[in-house]
Amino acid sequence: MEIETVEPYSAVMDSFLRQCGGYAVIDGGLATELETHGANLNDPLWSAKCLIGSPHLIRRVHLDYLEAGANIIICASYQATLQGFESKGLSREEGENLLRRSVEIAREARDLYYDRAAKGSWDNIGDKDGITPRRRPVLVAASVGSYGAYLADGSEYSGIYGENVSLETLKDFHRRRVQVLADSGADLIAFETIPNKMEAKAYAELLEEEDINIPAWFSFNSKDGTNVVCGDPIADCALIAHSCEQVIGVGINCTPPRYIHSLIQSIRRVTTKPILIYPNSGETYDADRKEWLPSTGVSDVDFVSHVGKWCDAGASLVGGCCRTTPDTIRAISKALSSRSNVVSPTEF
């Protein structure tokens, strides 16, 4: 089929990828590393809980991923909703300030990374495993999780919200958060773990209705390699992303690595937009117990062994999601650097 190219927002990602040498590295699991550093995330706010009590840990994890080679760091706003903050007794103003703070923390980490690079204080920064120390382009992505993430009942992994949740319900739920994050200083908005076509449509309509003036990406999750988790075909969902001017990338996150290749192929058939993939470790999440089942995933070596195949299939941005670590991202960065044709970095 002939695919129409959508401008002008697409030029933003095209320019960024050129600066990265054709391929970019997305960071890895935020909550995974927060827990490694001692955070207790057994809370409906999940990683967003740290915005209230331990923002320094978020900054530390962002910096860990930058040091591992990430070109894009995703803010701790995935489960940060105004409704969720209000349930904790915070005012609407306090909730909005926490959303803005999620972006500020990521920007602070980027500034710190650049400052250390300028001073030559590399220590563990960038020169491990063949990654060349240099001032590379880094974007800050404000995360928007699904309605199911706010419910914290596992429905983000099923996409089944019930008959009472309509397109307008979802638009009303997300509207103010998207407005705040769009004006927060982020470089783009990452709509993540989208479990159904209806929510993708809600996001696309919000971007247009609210005249959101920063780019976005849409990232879906799947459990069979053909459909998103609710059963909607991934190609139908990708078409929604392709038709939205502000969307500059479309892809898959929080999905086992074994399903990624076929999903890339399905997406590539319906869009010319850059494809991004950041799978989880392949472990199984128990939504009832709210924990990952041990020994059900793949090692970093096995995970990274797929990177070349994914890029050959059409992926341009690669990272990790739940249960991946800076070691995973460092290995991905090394794998992508062998494919890259890096040009002189631009100041970001």
Residue 286 one-letter amino acid: D
User: Distance between CA 280 and CA 327 in Å, rounded?
Assistant: 14
254 is in an annotated binding site: yes
Q: How many other C-beta atoms are found inside a 10 Å radius of the C-beta of residue 295? A: 6
Rounded to 10 degrees, the C-alpha dihedral 141/142/144/150 comes to 130
321 is in an annotated binding site: yes
Sheet holding 188-194, edge to edge: 24-25, 315-318, 275-278, 247-253, 216-220, 188-194, 139-144, 72-74
User: Distance between CA 150 and CA 187 in Å, rounded?
Assistant: 24
The full DSSP string for 167-179 is HHHHHHHHHHHHH
Return the SS3 of 38: coil
Angle between helices 55-68 and 92-119 (to 10 degrees): 40
Burial 180-195 (b: 16+ CB within 10 A, else e): bbbebebbbbbbbbbb
- Annotated binding site for Zn(2+): which residue ranges? 254, 321-322
Known binding positions: 254, 321-322
